[in-house]
A and B are shown apart, each in its own frame.
Chain A
Amino acid sequence: MDKIDKSRFGWVGSDPEHREGLSRPSITYWRDAMNRLVKNRVALVCLVFIILLILSCAILPFISPFNSREQHLSETNQSFFTPCEDSRFEGQNHMHIFGTDKLGRDTWTRTFEGGRVSLMIAFAAVFVNLIIGIIYGGISGYYGGAVDNVMMRIVEIVNGIPYLIIVVLLMMILKQGTFTMVIAYATVGWTGMARLVRGQALSLKNQEFVTAAEAMGAKPSRIIAKHLLPNALSVIIINVTLAVPSAIFTEAFLSYIGLGVPVPMPSWGILAQEGSQVFQVYPEKLWIPAIAISLTMLSFNLLGDGLRDAFDPRLRR
């Protein structure tokens, strides 16, 4: 083929006067979604709540005068707003805002530090699932055919095994800890994300813009990174948001049946489990973690719903 001199190509230009009327500046997909999300009051409130919660879980345990492990044996099982009378804090006028537990540990500090542990487990677990899911689903969906067939059969088998039972088994074998929880959850939790990403890749790769990109000679890596992923991103974001509450639930559930993080460490599940042992006498010991877990799960669910409405208004009901 002859080499065509680049100088022979030129910008024809367009006459702004005769352009088909674009009366408003065009907005991108993401900006559009953002606008819709901001208009959705409930989702916005949830987003703010989640951000505040993350910040308080990160900061509050540090500025609290008490340590989550420190026991004030003279003041166990106190109720809300009890002034601290421990000799170590004499004359400092500190207060146990949420009271103390059966070992005299400050519940306020433990609640927020527990929140940190629970949220970290949840985020890490979802993140690991996401990575595995994107790689597995992406490969399966992009290559299709026999590869896809085999990979999806494996997913189907993993999916057929009830996940909580396998998580329980794994938790028994591995040493208890936060990392173990993430591993146990990720071992079986990735299938949902993998299926989702595969479905997206399958439907997107046959679209015209991918064909166009291929025709222009784009490499598969570029097509995946520049065309497939950005288009699948909204669906992935929605599902990540909706996966967080289920991870929080799993952590709480495992801690509740005695397979949680190791002992002195607080987590919402552990607090709920400790609270449930004494809750006929001190019901507030259970209410605090219960409300924390429920509110967090609720906000993530509502935010997920809001994101879905924002990204895909057709689904709005």
Chain B
Amino acid sequence: MAKYILKRVGYAIVTLFVLVTLTFFMMRLLPGDPFTGEKQLPEKTMAALNAKYGLDKPVTTQYIMYLGNCLHGDLGLSLNTNRPVTTIIGEAFTYSFDLGIRAVLMAFVVGVLLGTLAAIKRGRPADTICMLIALIGVSVPSFIVASVLQYFLGLQLYFAMGKTVHLFAVTGWDGFNSKILPVFALAFGSLAQISRLMRTSMLDVLGQDYIKTAKAKGLSQKAIIWKHAIRNAIMPVVTVLGPITASVLTGGFVVESVFAVPGLGRYFVQSIQNRDFTMISGTTIFYGAFLIIANLVVDLAYGLIDPRVKLEEG
């Protein structure tokens, strides 16, 4: 067990290191430098600025400085707002995290239920409907789902109801009615993926001998499904929680932009459009670190949940 954990943590650290290195050298490769603007600065000012940010030193020194700063949690100042990147991330990520965790939860719960339902009602209309929903979810990009929801439920429904009640707010992140649409838009793709996986896994489990035994000893259908089938079938779904977190996080880029949620994803897209390089590299490292740690947690949790996985061998 200890060896497995050590190995996983080791991987996570190496991956993180590669990510930081990659980000640093990619940012170095960008054409121009942060101080070239519309106005040509005097030589001396340039030199002073370069010295202030350590840009006059050789690349290796800069790289080591950068690594050190990252370890201290210092990701530099945003070129646009001149505020520390970490502060901006700290503020914006609370919204993103709120949105993301709701989306992951919704995707997981609804996906598992849909998949289970489809597997139990295999070949019947309920199965077809569930899998049709899942197929649409897999095939329609999140930004389209977001726009469709915003247009029909946010806008047209509001018009249809005589512009009185906002059942679903179109933008923002304050009241409960403003959270439904973004969460659903963000969760839909992952929800579909989970329900497809859950259906396959559930069908597999339902064909096992221990289910037959449970039936033979006279357990009710309900008890069989909840006590025996779901617990076993849910295992493969746990393994995709890592990738699901990643897709929810990156899906946040567009969903937050569409619904004007003041989260980190929206900030990231804005800084891409403004070419705010420190913000971009800072956010990249933050996202990368977050996902790598999330993957690590999922990996370790999987070993804990399922006693059949022998961690020593992994």
Q: Is A230 an interface residue (CB 8 A)?
A: no
Chain A neighbourhood of B295, CB < 8 A: 160
Determine if B254 and A257 form an interchain contact, defined as CB atoms under 8 angstroms apart: yes
Q: Is A297 an interface residue (CB 8 A)?
A: yes
Q: Is A48 an interface residue (CB 8 A)?
A: no
Q: Is B78 an interface residue (CB 8 A)?
A: no
Docked complex: B267-312 residues within 8 A CB-CB of A: 269, 272-273, 275, 280-281, 284, 287-288, 291-292, 295
Determine if B272 and A168 form an interchain contact, defined as CB atoms under 8 angstroms apart: yes
Q: Is A249 an interface residue (CB 8 A)?
A: yes
The interface-forming segment of A132-140, A143-151, A278-286 is: A278-286
The interface-forming segment of B57-65, B142-150, B227-235 is: B142-150
Q: How far is the CB of A235 from chain B (nearest CB, A)?
A: 17
Determine if A162 and B15 form an interchain contact, defined as CB atoms under 8 angstroms apart: no
Q: Is B250 an interface residue (CB 8 A)?
A: yes
Determine if B135 and A293 form an interchain contact, defined as CB atoms under 8 angstroms apart: no
Determine if A253 and B138 form an interchain contact, defined as CB atoms under 8 angstroms apart: no
Determine if B29 and A173 form an interchain contact, defined as CB atoms under 8 angstroms apart: yes
The interface-forming segment of B18-26, B39-47, B208-216 is: B18-26
Given A258-B269, A293-B144, the answer on whether A166 and B250 have CB atoms closer than 8 Å is no
Docked complex: A247-287 residues within 8 A CB-CB of B: 249, 252-253, 256-259, 272, 276, 279-280, 283, 286
Residue from A164, A172, A280, A293 in contact with B151 in the complex, judged by beta carbons closer than 8 Å: A280
Chain A neighbourhood of B140, CB < 8 A: 290, 293-294, 297-298
Whole-angstrom CA separation of A258 from B141 in the bound complex: 16
Q: Is A18 an interface residue (CB 8 A)?
A: no
Determine if B135 and A160 form an interchain contact, defined as CB atoms under 8 angstroms apart: no
Given A298-B136, A301-B135, the answer on whether A161 and B288 have CB atoms closer than 8 Å is yes
Chain A neighbourhood of B18, CB < 8 A: 157, 161
Residue from B23, B139, B143, B249 in contact with A276 in the complex, judged by beta carbons closer than 8 Å: B143
Docked complex: A159-203 residues within 8 A CB-CB of B: 160-162, 164-166, 168-170, 172-173
Docked complex: B99-144 residues within 8 A CB-CB of A: 135-136, 138-141, 143-144
Chain A neighbourhood of B138, CB < 8 A: 297, 301
User: Interface range on chain B: under 10, 10 to 19, 20 to 34, or 35 or more?
Assistant: 35 or more
Q: Is B200 an interface residue (CB 8 A)?
A: yes
Determine if B22 and A166 form an interchain contact, defined as CB atoms under 8 angstroms apart: yes
Chain A neighbourhood of B15, CB < 8 A: 157, 160-161
Q: Is B203 an interface residue (CB 8 A)?
A: yes
Residue from A164, A165, A253 in contact with B141 in the complex, judged by beta carbons closer than 8 Å: A253
Residue from A258, A272, A283, A301 in contact with B272 in the complex, judged by beta carbons closer than 8 Å: A258
Whole-angstrom CA separation of A286 from B30 in the bound complex: 33
Whole-angstrom CA separation of A293 from B22 in the bound complex: 32
Determine if A249 and B141 form an interchain contact, defined as CB atoms under 8 angstroms apart: yes
Determine if A257 and B269 form an interchain contact, defined as CB atoms under 8 angstroms apart: yes
Chain A neighbourhood of B144, CB < 8 A: 272, 286, 290, 293-294
Q: Is B199 an interface residue (CB 8 A)?
A: yes
Main secondary structure of the interface of B (DSSP, over half): helix
Chain B neighbourhood of A317, CB < 8 A: 199-200, 203
Chain A neighbourhood of B249, CB < 8 A: 162
Whole-angstrom CA separation of A286 from B150 in the bound complex: 12
Q: Which residue of A lies closest to B204 (CB)?
A: A317
Counting chain A CB atoms within 10 Å of each CB, the highest count among B12, B258, B269, B272 belongs to: B272
Whole-angstrom CA separation of A197 from B143 in the bound complex: 32
Interface size on A, residues (CB 8 A): 35
Q: Is A245 an interface residue (CB 8 A)?
A: yes
Q: Is A302 an interface residue (CB 8 A)?
A: yes
Whole-angstrom CA separation of A256 from B266 in the bound complex: 12
Q: Which residue of A lies closest to B144 (CB)?
A: A290
Determine if B11 and A157 form an interchain contact, defined as CB atoms under 8 angstroms apart: yes
Q: How far is the CB of A170 from chain B (nearest CB, A)?
A: 7
Interface flags for B234-252 (1: CB within 8 Å of A; 0: not) read: 0000000000001001100
Q: Is B253 an interface residue (CB 8 A)?
A: yes
Determine if A301 and B139 form an interchain contact, defined as CB atoms under 8 angstroms apart: yes
Whole-angstrom CA separation of A106 from B78 in the bound complex: 41
Q: How far is the CB of A309 from chain B (nearest CB, A)?
A: 13
Q: Is A214 an interface residue (CB 8 A)?
A: no
Chain B neighbourhood of A301, CB < 8 A: 135, 138-139
Chain A neighbourhood of B199, CB < 8 A: 317
Q: How far is the CB of A213 from chain B (nearest CB, A)?
A: 31
Determine if A170 and B141 form an interchain contact, defined as CB atoms under 8 angstroms apart: no
Q: Is A156 an interface residue (CB 8 A)?
A: yes
Q: Which residue of A lies closest to B275 (CB)?
A: A172
Chain B neighbourhood of A245, CB < 8 A: 139
Residue from A162, A173, A256, A259 in contact with B287 in the complex, judged by beta carbons closer than 8 Å: A162
Determine if B143 and A272 form an interchain contact, defined as CB atoms under 8 angstroms apart: yes
Chain A neighbourhood of B281, CB < 8 A: 169
Q: How far is the CB of B157 from chain A (nearest CB, A)?
A: 14
Chain B residues in the interface with A (C-beta under 8 A): 11-12, 14-15, 18-19, 22-23, 26, 29-30, 135-136, 138-141, 143-144, 147-148, 151, 155, 199-200, 203, 246, 249-250, 253-254, 257-258, 269, 272-273, 275, 280-281, 284, 287-288, 291-292, 295
Chain A residues in the interface with B (C-beta under 8 A): 156-157, 160-162, 164-166, 168-170, 172-173, 245, 249, 252-253, 256-259, 272, 276, 279-280, 283, 286, 290, 293-294, 297-298, 301-302, 317
Q: 10 pairs across A/B with beta carbons < 8 Å?
A: A157-B11, A160-B295, A162-B250, A169-B284, A172-B26, A172-B30, A245-B139, A249-B141, A252-B141, A317-B199
